[in-house]
Structure 1
């Protein structure tokens, strides 16, 4: 199938076909976010079973995100050359192998290998997902598609604790991993049965152009400043999310004496508010031309709310409410963020650009716990939230920088 055929088809397809593609990609995306928590949710078990400390457990997640980040930057090139669908199927197979491996581990080395394997599986999803969405979904529905994509990712995060808590208590943690492998196998079957909806065209180079030295090199897109501004945005905004996911429970307990359960529910509320924000943001993205400005406003509001939580001026209940509202503010910018990246992407380089840009997400997840972990070790709980708010505010400048450079490029 040629690029022209796909592009013309995407412009006139019925709603049901667009919805099917969006649903399939959303299912895959939810499974990748579920994989983010394959190991962290069992950290207390690993500490008890294998005598591990927090530093060793932290290295597991660093391993996951380093492998995922490097792999994601490379996966984009493969997606552009081979198409998105083959890599999607391979990624699901890797997740199955990671879950089976986790059920069999007998020590720390095994966990490191599982973390690396899961990170490798996670590496393909953003270049794969956005290549499929950009090629197979009608242009007028892309804003909604990006909204659903972000929303399903949050739901994947929300489903993992329920899955492992429920099954872990009833059948044991090793069997829970086996159940997770079966879940991934079922998802793979669904994707294979609907594979015709997931096909994408590949980048084809003109041999004559290569012979004449006129063909553009595969790495040419890396010379574009806008690509690196996009990378910077993801790096900065994800560092803030990593603080919330990694340390918010401890911060709430230390600053306000909130119980572990209440603090955990606050993080769940943050994620659900983020999903709601993404749903609302989809309508905004579909109706707004200046995506960078929507992103900048959303991140700025989120930064202010997070900073307010860090001041310690609010009581416990107000802090929990405001922190959850931060998720809603940031979530609104999600679909417009993806539209912003689409507008900045050169034609024919979707996989490569999304792969490199979204590796900024993995980089942020990898380095943020190291930097802000030092704050936490010193008891600087409020400063940790204020620092995260400052980083989120810096991402506002990055988003506006993307918008300016996108206009100049076109």
Structure 2
């Protein structure tokens, strides 16, 4: 009698429609996750007046959101492995909707802070859920494209938030804008619930051993995966990745304006061009990632180009029109590395610890986003604008070294387990 293996990677004969359905549904949920991260920031001018608070106090709401998300992300992986990703995904989307609705009904700053905690809990489940679904339900030859779509939908979520929140606040009110965001989250939850069978995934028994060389330790206990050196190298990589992204999102456009006398009209489009070009780079990166063995080289080339552009923006004398162009090129180069970046984790993850590994590794994103403003915000306050760009280039260089170090420690682990 033949016994099915619950850990077996989907075969390449999996119908395209089946893979596309899973990729699309997971991507839609990921869009709402990123969308919810930036709900409040575009509304700060309205919230400042409505609650008579400072920008520092409003910024603290974002810190609360990401601090809670970090803690939940590290822990939710265990829950995903225990109960499966689908119910956790539904819970996360529901909490994001509740948080947005709660924001819209808040009558005090502390109510906003309380619902920031709710939003952080909801946001913290997505990476363990998403990558568990993609890695176990999408066929191996299409994983690169799956990671590409996942990254693109995240970027689109970031772009959608200010594009939706500010116009609705101007036309109606900030409360209407946030209530509309809640409605969007609940609509997506309904779409996923109606397609829930496509997201079903059998829970892997805790006693089933990993089927990857050098990773048998992960089956010894729920925390045994923490002994895998490559897991912590991936954590380090994502910590620095989040630092670099945070610099680009928060400080790089203003630093470029100060260095190159860029008009405000052009500064406003720098980040948009970076994000759109990054999404385009992820499309190409999905094809390049079809061969997992070259993922470290792709990451190295992509961030090598991005670091070179950061040095040019920090040290060279440039015309104002050239700055948005370089932002776009830098975004495209970083985007190419995106799918291969996710493959670094995939290749270091035991099948029976997928949620736990992704929860811990991607907690590095939240920590990096929390640490980066403390360092680069100080450089901005001291008007060290060149230092911001040199620091960004340095962080991107560390990303390259981290990617190849993941491969090194993964290879070192193989003979030890033989």
Alignment TM-score, normalising by the size of structure 1? 0.94
Deviates more, 1:191-200 or 1:114-123: 114-123
* Number of equivalences: 403
Matched residues in 1 for 2:12 and 2:81: separation? 21
Deviates more, 1:330-339 or 1:114-123: 114-123
**Map of 1:406 onto structure 2:** 410
Matched residues in 2 for 1:400 and 1:89: separation? 36
**C-alpha RMSD of the superposition:** 1.8
Matched residues in 2 for 1:60 and 1:264: separation? 24
**Cα distance per residue 1:198-221 (max 9 Å; x no partner):** 1122231349xxxxxx96111111
Question: Are 1:102 and 1:177, in contact at CA under 8 Å, matched by a contact in 2?
Answer: yes
Over 3 Å counting, the alpha-carbon distance change for 1:247 and 1:9 in structure 2 is: closer
| TM-fit CA distance, 1:288 | 4.8
| TM-fit CA distance, 1:316 | 1.7
| TM-fit CA distance, 1:240 | 0.9
**Map of 1:167 onto structure 2:** 168
Question: Are 1:37 and 1:160, in contact at CA under 8 Å, matched by a contact in 2?
Answer: yes
Q: Does 1:37 align with 2:41?
A: no
1:396 alignment partner, one of 379, 395, 400: 400
Question: Are 1:7 and 1:136, in contact at CA under 8 Å, matched by a contact in 2?
Answer: no
**Map of 1:210 onto structure 2:** none
**Map of 1:193 onto structure 2:** 194
| TM-fit CA distance, 1:170 | 1.8
**Map of 2:215 onto structure 1:** none
Question: Are 1:60 and 1:111, in contact at CA under 8 Å, matched by a contact in 2?
Answer: yes
**Map of 2:124 onto structure 1:** 123
| TM-fit CA distance, 1:10 | 4.9
Matched residues in 2 for 1:84 and 1:187: separation? 16
Over 3 Å counting, the alpha-carbon distance change for 1:3 and 1:126 in structure 2 is: farther
Question: Are 2:269 and 2:324, in contact at CA under 8 Å, matched by a contact in 1?
Answer: no
Q: Does 1:51 align with 2:52?
A: yes
Alignment TM-score, normalising by the size of structure 2? 0.92
| TM-fit CA distance, 1:292 | 1.4
Matched residues in 2 for 1:104 and 1:3: separation? 50
**Map of 2:278 onto structure 1:** 274
Matched residues in 2 for 1:206 and 1:134: separation? 20
Over 3 Å counting, the alpha-carbon distance change for 1:53 and 1:251 in structure 2 is: farther
Deviates more, 1:101-110 or 1:391-400: 101-110
Question: Are 1:278 and 1:334, in contact at CA under 8 Å, matched by a contact in 2?
Answer: yes
**Map of 1:147 onto structure 2:** 148
**Map of 2:339 onto structure 1:** 335
Secondary structure of the residue aligned to 1:286 is: coil
Question: Are 1:299 and 1:393, in contact at CA under 8 Å, matched by a contact in 2?
Answer: yes
Over 3 Å counting, the alpha-carbon distance change for 1:156 and 1:114 in structure 2 is: same
2:268 alignment partner, one of 264, 270, 279: 264
1:222 alignment partner, one of 221, 226, 234: 226
| TM-fit CA distance, 1:151 | 0.8
Question: Are 1:235 and 1:361, in contact at CA under 8 Å, matched by a contact in 2?
Answer: yes
**Map of 2:75 onto structure 1:** 74
Over 3 Å counting, the alpha-carbon distance change for 1:128 and 1:10 in structure 2 is: farther
**Map of 1:386 onto structure 2:** 390
| TM-fit CA distance, 1:320 | 2.0
Question: Are 2:48 and 2:54, in contact at CA under 8 Å, matched by a contact in 1?
Answer: yes
Aligned pairs for 1:1-400 (under 5 A) are 4=5, 7=8, 10-206=11-207, 216-400=220-404
Question: Are 1:83 and 1:202, in contact at CA under 8 Å, matched by a contact in 2?
Answer: yes
| TM-fit CA distance, 1:312 | 4.7
| TM-fit CA distance, 1:57 | 2.5
| TM-fit CA distance, 1:256 | 3.0
Secondary structure of the residue aligned to 2:350 is: coil
**Cα distance per residue 1:107-163 (max 9 Å; x no partner):** 322222222221111100011000000111111111111111111111111111111
**Cα distance per residue 1:239-296 (max 9 Å; x no partner):** 0110111113322332233333321211100000000010110000013522112112
